[in-house]
Structure 1
């Protein structure tokens, strides 16, 4: 190797050594900071990208959900299931239709219903129930009540409207004494259990001339004589309003006789029994068998809800057809003509 070649090689090796030692003037600590900063920027870039994608997707999913419930009237159908379930399974409870609220979210809908019942001559707001839906599947309702005697929670044992072949689970005298202890200037709601099954016409004759109003009929559908099914689920009453509902939105608004609306509502709920069972406080509606029984045997009533002046309801204790009575809500006098 010539002297010039050796000098060139030494120059190259020296330059390499200087590069390794100096590292372009950047220390190892500075290099680590640069690497961390790069990783952080990469992470934020990923997060921002994901957020941008979500902000684009969420409106699309929301629009899809609105379309799902709007197309084919799914939202209205689910509201109708909730509406009719309450009318048929909650004695003397109405749904305030014009105050139904719906909230649609991604793949879900929440339906809030305001509930009321008639005590004396006035409709009283008793609370509200909120029913969550995931697509067309209902979840357990969340209910809030603002009355003295709120409906029993799920699961509940029906001791208010008792079939004549079933045992009363309360003291008759004690319930009558509760009414006797109320001031004269009050109106009350009462749950009556009869000594046998009656037709609607027979009950109307029995209550003719009494200063009170029949509000709801408990219909015998073949299994109310047992209070607990073989699987341990309590058998609940099912029935319909005794009066025409002045609210035009109500299924019992007088366009058809209440008895026909009751049968039509049973047929409708039979097609949506899973949703209806989730909404109802009873967890076993067994609508197919109950509908078949009523269609074959007609409508017979074993109990009813009435409202009126407390002193007038007390007179029912003298009637042999009233086997038992449980007191419901009580209000100050409002029995005005």
Structure 2
């Protein structure tokens, strides 16, 4: 009897120990899980505070506005037209700023979306942007502002000999009731006021002028090509007058360059280019610093433009002897004032 009782006692104790071990394991698992959950919530809370804090700082200190201004200035000086309602600037945990907006073309009074721009800048890195185009056509022919060699090497006091202008010929086959965009170049570089006055009698909008800023002379561009008596090289664009208020909350924008406000557009362009090259790091900033020095030394000169308006009004440009190398861009149904 005694031995039998001892066996039962031993068996009961072993089962109890197994159960207790199991309970201890589960308690440890639960305790570890609770700690991990607590750590997760604490880290998430700290990250949330960090994100809100840095974004609030970037907003209140003006860093996001400076980034937006840099994006708008850089892209439009390089010939793009973008929707300036950029929306919220995104800020990564590593303090990389990024923003996206639409790229458009001005055709008559309508702005047709032709792509999307994405720009970003890390804390100590360069401002970079890419444009993803949207096109209904496989080829992208249209507006090419080729620089006459007379702009670089002199001469050009007489009008350039015009070859057959196929784009003007195309206009003659387009019926009334349409508006379009068209580009052209001059036989030499002239002050922008002179070009604006030359086009003042036509019912057109000047949406941009191609500036000569010393390319292939005092500015060594990285890539260019030539054909006939013209050269295709990167250039700065004189855009219609656009200016931010000091706090960045307000803005004044014109849709076209006119002879009345051309001086304002030129003055603002110089301010923008000076600010951009002094405060923003980007690919090509050294070339733009050289361009700015050239402009300050020789004055602002333009050698071509992009205009938009009714096709019959555009067709009249064939009678202006100073203009040549026409390019025909987008066409829309009549939407003119």
The alignment's TM-score, normalised by the length of structure 2, stands at: 0.71
What are the Cα deviations for residues 119-175 of structure 1, in whole angstroms up to 9, with x where unaligned?
Answer: 2234555555343444475665465666658997xxxx9971111029xxxx97454
What are the Cα deviations for residues 288-318 of structure 1, in whole angstroms up to 9, with x where unaligned?
Answer: 1111111111111011111111132233344
Map of 2:237 onto structure 1: 239
Alignment of 1:196-211 (within 5 A): 196-211=188-203
- Residue 187 of structure 2: which of 188, 195, 203 is its match? 195
**Matched residues in 1 for 2:211 and 2:308: separation?**
18
Map of 1:261 onto structure 2: 268
Alignment of 1:23-172 (within 5 A): 24-26=13-15, 37=26, 40-41=29-30, 43-90=32-79, 93=81, 95-97=83-85, 100-104=87-91, 106=93, 107-124=95-112, 128-135=116-123, 137=125, 140-141=128-129, 143=131, 160-165=144-149
Map of 1:324 onto structure 2: 325
Residues 1:270 and 2:277 aligned together? yes
**Matched residues in 2 for 1:196 and 1:304: separation?**
13
Unaligned runs of 5+ in 1: 1-10, 278-282
Map of 1:249 onto structure 2: 251
Shift in alpha-carbon separation, 1:41–1:310, aligned structure 2, 3 A: same
Q: Secondary structure at the match of 1:320?
A: coil
Check the 8 A contact 2:184/2:304 in 1, yes or no.
Answer: yes
Alpha-carbon deviation of 1:32? 7.7
Alpha-carbon deviation of 1:196? 1.5
The alignment's TM-score, normalised by the length of structure 1, stands at: 0.71
- Number of equivalent positions: 306
Alpha-carbon deviation of 1:255? 11
What are the Cα deviations for residues 259-291 of structure 1, in whole angstroms up to 9, with x where unaligned?
Answer: 11111111011024424x4xxxxx677211111
Shift in alpha-carbon separation, 1:60–1:82, aligned structure 2, 3 A: same
Shift in alpha-carbon separation, 1:139–1:220, aligned structure 2, 3 A: closer
What are the Cα deviations for residues 227-278 of structure 1, in whole angstroms up to 9, with x where unaligned?
Answer: 994478994221222x446996147696971111111111011024424x4x
Shift in alpha-carbon separation, 1:285–1:303, aligned structure 2, 3 A: farther
